[in-house]
Structures are given as C-alpha cells and as structure tokens.
Amino acid sequence: MPATHFIADLHLLDDREPAARRLAGYLAGPARDAEALYVLGDLFDVWIGDDGSIAPHTATLDAFAALAGAGVPLYFIRGNRDFAVGADFERRSRMQMLDDPTALTLHGVPTLLAHGDVFCSDDIAHQAFRAKYTDARWRKRRLALPLWLRRTVARRARRRSTAAKQSKPARIMDVNTATVAALAAEYGAQRIIHGHTHRPDDHVDGRLERHVLADWRPDTAEVLLVDDSGVARHRLDAGGCFSA
Ligand code: MN
C-alpha cells in the first residue's frame, strides 16, 4: 500500500515565493504516489478570508486541486495562522476539512492528527485565542468584518506574536507532555502526528509515538511518510522532488 503523506507549517506568503514553487513541484511530483495527503495547518502565513486570500494563492490552490483530480484524497486541519479558510477555499483546493484533533486508524495504527497547539497547554494566552479560532461562530463573526479591518487585525496579531515569541520562555511554546498523554489516552492513540511547534522530531514514550512535522524554511523542506512499515522523513529539493 502506498504511503500517506503529511506536511504542515509552510507559512506561504504568495504563489511567487520559492516555497510555493517547491510545493507545486511536490504536488505535481512525489505527492502523486501518495495514498492521501494531510496538511496539518499553517499552510499559509496568514489567511484573512477567502475574499482577500485566494488571489495571491491561486496557483497553489490549483496545484492541490490537480492532485485531487489525479485521485489523491486531500485533508486539511486549520492552523492558528490559516483558521479563516472557508467554503471557497475548500471548493478551489478540493481539500476536505478535518477537526482538530482528528482520530483515525492509519496503516493499522490508531493515530491522532492535530495542528499541534492543542498540546501547548502551558501557553495560556495562546489557548485563549485557540478557544476562539476553533469556534465556527467566532470565525463567522470575524469574517463578517470588512476586509481592510481583517487585514489590520492580522497585521497587528502577527506583530504581537513576534513580540510574544521573544518574551515567552521556550518551554511554554512547546507541548506539555502530560497534555499529550491525556489526549492520546482520551482518543486511544498510539501515534500522534502534528506540527505548529517548529521542533521536528520523533518522540517515543512507552507505547506512544509522537512525530512533529518540520516547518518549511527557505533552504529546507520535508514531507513525513507513513506506511505499513512505519514513519519516514523525506527531504524535498528546490523543485519539490525527493532528494537522495
Ligand atoms: Mn501554528
């Protein structure tokens, strides 16, 4: 059985940047062999709403749609940066939305998929924001604001988040292992796959595996592959092909 692919935290700004070109190469190349592709949030650095954010990402959405057209199922979990993706985004990209977290059995293993911030329970301020953006009614109210105001709010939020990252201790920006264990038990998961923390690693704690996806950087990018034999990481070259 072919491998299931996972990516997250690309933080795309627009179609023109190198990361978007790398993604397009991957979606037209190695991703065609995937059993399915899961995008676990923060695909975009910001999404102010379908009305303002589809235009700069048209080529990316078309590339996802072409992959879906080639028969690869696509799934998306909202991140804290791109929580505002809506029905037009779904239609254009042909991605199917999943709850955060989502439990399912993948390649025989009970697995929990999440953007990742659900585990960062020590960051109280972020959890307050997460409670809002994961609420469909709050998102609807936010999207009812005029576009110019959403742009201003997004710019201000990013500035605040940059400042907060510098002042918050590194520890509270990572997962709380007790929260990880509690959610794994609640969902009966033996494997967790998530992004958000930008701390790519493979953790094993007793019977529980936790695989943290790599964020994409100007010089490096990675896809996580899961198949019946386990988990592997594949680096992408600048053209989006698996590098040797
Ligand atoms: Mn995030």
Both tokens assigned to 198: 């930008």
Distance 228 CA to ligand 1 centre (A): 28
Q: Average pLDDT for residues 221-232, to the nearest whole number? A: 97
Check: CB of residue 44 under 8 Å from CB of residue 53.
Answer: yes
Phi and psi based region of residue 196 (left: phi greater than 0; alpha: psi -120 to 50; beta: remaining):
left
Cα(11) to ligand 1 centroid in Å equals: 9
In angstroms, what is the span from residue 194 Cα to ligand 1's centroid? 10
Mean pLDDT of 188-193: 98
CA–CA separation, 61 vs 74, rounded Å? 12
The pLDDT tens digits of the residues spanning 48-98 come to: 999 999 999 999 999 999 999 999 999 999 999 999 999 999 999 999 999
What would the pLDDT profile of 3-27 be if each residue is shown by its tens digit?
Answer: 999 999 999 999 999 999 999 999 9
**pLDDT for the residue numbered 167:** 84
Cα–Cα separations (whole angstroms), residue 99 to 3, 41, 82, 173: 22, 11, 14, 22
- Domain carrying residue 71: 4-235
CA 27–ligand 1 middle distance (angstroms): 22
Predicted confidence at residue 90, as pLDDT, reads 98
pLDDT at 171: 82
Q: Is the pLDDT of residue 244 over 80?
A: no
Cα(99)–Cα(212) distance, integer angstroms: 18
Give a yes or no: residue 241 inside a domain.
no
41: left (phi over 0), alpha (psi -120 to 50) or beta: left
The rounded Å distance from CA 130 to ligand 1 centre is 10
Distance 154 CA to ligand 1 centre (A): 14
Q: Is pLDDT above 90 for 164?
A: no
Let me know if residue 242 belongs to a domain: no
pLDDT for 157: 87
3-state secondary structure (DSSP) of residue 105: strand
Instruction: Give mean pLDDT, residues 187-197.
Output: 98
Share of the chain above pLDDT 70, in %: 100
Work out how many domains the chain is built from and give that number. 1
**pLDDT tier at 128, thresholds 50, 70, 90:** very high
Name the band, by pLDDT with cuts 50, 70 and 90, for residue 144: very high
Give the domain CATH number at 204.
3.60.21.10
Q: Give a yes or no: residue 107 inside a domain.
A: yes
Distance (Å, rounded) from C-alpha 176 to C-alpha 134?
A: 20
Residues with CB under 5 A from ligand 1 (ion): 42, 79-80, 196
Residue 72: predicted pLDDT: 98
